[in-house]
Amino acid sequence: MRKHRVAVVGCGSLAQGVHLPNAQRNPRIELVATCDINAQAAENCRVRFGAQRAETDWRKLVVAPDIDLFILATRQTLRGEFIAPALENGKPVYTEKPLSPDLDDMLRILRAVRKSGLPVCVGHNRRSSPAMIEFKRLLDKAVSGVPSIPPTVNRMGDRQRLPEEKQMQLLMRINDDARSWKSWAFCEKESILFAEIVHFIDLALWMNRSHPVRAFVEGSNRGNFTIILRFADGSMTTLQHSLVGHFDYPKELFEATVNNITVAMDQYFEIRQCGMADEAAVKQMPYAAGCEWATKTGMTGYMQCVAEERQRAKAKGDAPRWLNVNKGHYDHLDRFLDHIEGRGPNPCDVESAVPVNRLALKLLDSARLGLPVAVQPEDWHLPQLEA
């Protein structure tokens, strides 16, 4: 088994909650270094997660001979400046999203990837969630034209099908809670509409088979907004983001309709479909590792587990345990290791991440203007770049 000698750059809450634990428990990873501009944070993470050394200057690590791979878990302000020299020194990079809010920075990364031939994986981890992979499998099957079972009510008779029935309507509902965010999310000009919603723009582009042509945002880019994306084949994706929900309620609901078939996925623990005779109506997925204490599944089971855990914690004077779900963080990194070893595709390469970021910038324009904006080929098509 190949060992990948890894350095984690950026030791904030995401690194401590996700990337460092995943690196620690992955048998293919040897955690060589933790790095942060805050020396104490780097050292604390070194001790906690068993890294060999702690650093404050990422430039030393880029040229270090004992490191093969980087996990970049900083804010979006450090992307091309780090990724380009890492690739030039022969080291692939797993970078957190967003890739970058700056067009020149995106192109710098793209040029470095194409010139070096080395991979960069962007942390759109939901692509690697087992529940999302199953949701997309069912959706792709529905899009392919598999016959829909007869409905209870059918007044069409032998009439010709409408062309709109082949267009996919995708709804994404994001129940967020302002209290779960640190203050930086409301101070940066891009705010949540860029920092978080790139996850869902990525999924919209991943699931739709044609390119976007029009985008509209109603609301504030900090939260409480609705996004409409129209695609060239007439399909539409609607994303509703609420900042005033409760953090313990399931955050994400995806519902897609096409060819008289409905497919839904609720918070990565329940998948439903109606219209395909050879598929189960409901599938339930396990919670994230470490949440084995929650034994009830599905939407009802989830809500019961959350309520019972709150009662348990109150009776014992503890803090309630967080009932986490599998959004694919571990699997995304593990699939990237497979790709580096020549087994399987890159789960999210730069070529697909750049259009996501460009479209997010278009949506910011729409939110500021209060108007729909056209999405042009230069927003999603990446031509050959000169060196």
The pLDDT tens digits for 144-172 are 999 999 889 988 777 788 888 889 999 99
Helix, strand or coil, per DSSP, at residue 268: coil
Residue 354 has a pLDDT of: 95
Residue 386 has a pLDDT of: 59
**What residues have CB less than 8 Å from 200, skipping those under 6 apart?**
172, 174, 239
Angle at alpha carbon of residue 211, lines to 210 and 213, rounded to 5°: 125
Residue 387 has a pLDDT of: 53
Give helix 80-88 / helix 103-116 axis angle, nearest 10°: 10
Domain residue spans of the chain: 4-125, 127-150+164-327+360-369
Angle at alpha carbon of residue 194, lines to 70 and 98, rounded to 5°: 10
Residue 383 has a pLDDT of: 83
343 backbone dihedrals φ, ψ, rounded to 5°: -125, 95
67: left (phi over 0), alpha (psi -120 to 50) or beta: beta
Helix, strand or coil, per DSSP, at residue 321: coil
Helix, strand or coil, per DSSP, at residue 2: coil
**What residues have CB less than 8 Å from 294, skipping those under 6 apart?**
287, 301, 302, 305, 309, 323
- Reported as type and span, the H/E element at residue 173 is strand 169-175
Q: Are 213 and 375 in contact (CB under 8 A)?
A: yes
**Superfamily covering domain 127-150+164-327+360-369:** Dihydrodipicolinate Reductase; domain 2 (3.30.360.10)
The tokens for 321 are: 């345990």
Q: Which residue type is seen at 169?
A: Q
According to DSSP, the residues that pair with 252 across neighbouring strands are: 174
Helix, strand or coil, per DSSP, at residue 316: helix
Q: Are 66 and 5 in contact (CB under 8 A)?
A: yes
Is the omega angle on the peptide bond into residue 345 within 30 degrees of 0, that is, cis?
Answer: no
**Superfamily covering domain 4-125:** NAD(P)-binding Rossmann-like Domain (3.40.50.720)
Angle at alpha carbon of residue 21, lines to 46 and 322, rounded to 5°: 125
CATH fold match for the domains 4-125 and 127-150+164-327+360-369: no
- Reported as type and span, the H/E element at residue 72 is strand 69-72
Q: Are 169 and 261 in contact (CB under 8 A)?
A: no
pTM: 0.94
Residue 382 has a pLDDT of: 85
Burial (CB < 10 A; 0-12, 13-18, 19+), residue 149, is: exposed
Q: Are 251 and 266 in contact (CB under 8 A)?
A: no
Q: Which residues in the chain land under pLDDT 70?
A: 385-387
Whole-number Å distance between alpha carbons of 379 and 362: 8
Whole-number Å distance between alpha carbons of 13 and 51: 17
Percent of the chain topping pLDDT 70: 99
User: What is the pairing mode between strands 69-72 and 223-231?
Assistant: unpaired
Whole-number Å distance between alpha carbons of 336 and 93: 10
